[in-house]
Amino acid sequence: MSKEKNSPSRSGAFEAGVDKRVETFTESISFDQRLFVQDIAGSIAHSEMLAQQGILADDEFQQIKTTLTEIKQEIVDGEFKYDFALEDIHMHIEKALIDRLGDIGRKLHTGRSRNDQVSTDFRLWVRDAIDRVSAKLLDLQKAFVSRCDQDVDTILPAYTHMQRAQPVLAPHYWLAYCEKLERDRERLTDARKRVNSSTLGTAAVAGTTIDIDRSKTAELLGFERIVANSLDASSDRDFVLESAFCLTTIALHLSTWAEEWIIWSTVEFNFLDLPQEFCTGSSIMPQKINPDILELIRGKTARVVGNLQALIVLTKSLPLAYNRDLQEDKPQLFDSFDTVIACLELAAPLVEQTKLNRDEIASRLDRGFLDATTLMEYMIKRGVPQRSAHHAVGALVRTAMNERKSLAELPLETFQQTQPGIDESVFESLGVENAVKSFQSFGSTAPEQVALQIAAWKARVSD
């Protein structure tokens, strides 16, 4: 096997070149090239700080800044050449700088290591990616809120254990997802605080003897704080794990929504019609309109969950400080961000364009005794102990089932035989419309409560 000459990352201590197989095995340029924007921004900030400290001359800084900007544009235009022998995006950019500026380019890496450079670049990338995901989550919230007015009078059966439980207004359902997505955004916002800490200038592991100003580079790059311990800075990937967890939670919420709408789109449920632009057909069955996009959103959740598990295992038992294992943190997190963003981009238009089959839903609302709990609470308000009322309503449900009737179709005498003292007012609590109107508690599906929540969410998503 042929040997290759030393790469720029290998010092003069090496006598042998790098085996070609090692180059292929250790390269990360195939995936970390997407960090080029952050790497160049970090290098410009670092060189500006070096000039401020008198380590670089002002004209040297200007040459570095101008050349790095030119390199960035070449990458954007697709004119930049990559070479596996240079391992990663950081060495590619540094070599291009040195090729053009010579010794001035060789000064750029003063007071930093690839360890803190990589960590800084990755933090900058994750910070931007968090902002993109948060914006997509807001778009999905807006899509759910936009449905509320048109669906305000539609009653849906809510399920527990996949059995019909109680009636709810459709906007109450849509806003339930707004609440979940809001917690997702809050988690991202909180995680972003820990991402937004500068490690630049902590160097390889112990810091540097060069008189640098880490606060200056943090300020230039928009970091809120600087990491206080160089050992911690070199090894820390908490921000990667936390971001991956946030993305996993988002994916799980999307998967739950996708699963429900897949079920709701079946002939058996027929609650909704999905926009055909987001469905596919069958290669053999001409009648099929398949919810493939929802199925893929549900399926891609497995990738996001798997990436989190891989990252946890990757960082398990690593000794302080930097270890090459950490090169493998980027493919998983890149993939999780890409996957979640792709799912969110399709989720919002799906929500906006899906049509509820209101007549079909309404025609079967009398099934499943959705008003049974309301009847029980009617009895409680008339002085019947909860457990006694629960037992009495259970008996009435059994009677209605045997007679193939709804509770509202039972005669008053049947109610009175089960629970003496009941009068005609019982029928004001029966039927899904009456049941919905009977709710009172904050956060319930009571029309007044739902109206307040719709107004509140309209204000929140418009900020």
Catalytic residues, by residue number, are: 161, 282
Helix or strand or coil: residue 79?
A: coil
Spatial contact of 31 and 84, defined as CB atoms under 8 Å apart:
no
Helix or strand or coil: residue 301?
A: helix
Show the tokens assigned to 331.
Answer: 């493919």
- Element at 169 (helix H, strand E): strand 163-169
Neighbours of 124 (CB within 10 A): 24
Spatial contact of 135 and 75, defined as CB atoms under 8 Å apart:
no
Show the tokens assigned to 388.
Answer: 């006694």
Q: How far apart are the first and last CA of the chain?
A: 62
18: which strand partners? Answer: 4
Spatial contact of 104 and 59, defined as CB atoms under 8 Å apart:
no
**What gap in Å lies between CA 318 and CA 314, rounded to an integer?**
8
Neighbours of 397 (CB within 10 A): 15
Least Cα distance to 252 among 319, 167, 177 occurs for: 177
Q: Amino acid identity of 363?
A: S
E strands, 268-384, in order? 272-273, 355-356
Q: What are phi and psi of 149, to 5 degrees?
A: -65, -45
Q: Amino acid identity of 56?
A: L
198: which strand partners? Answer: 226
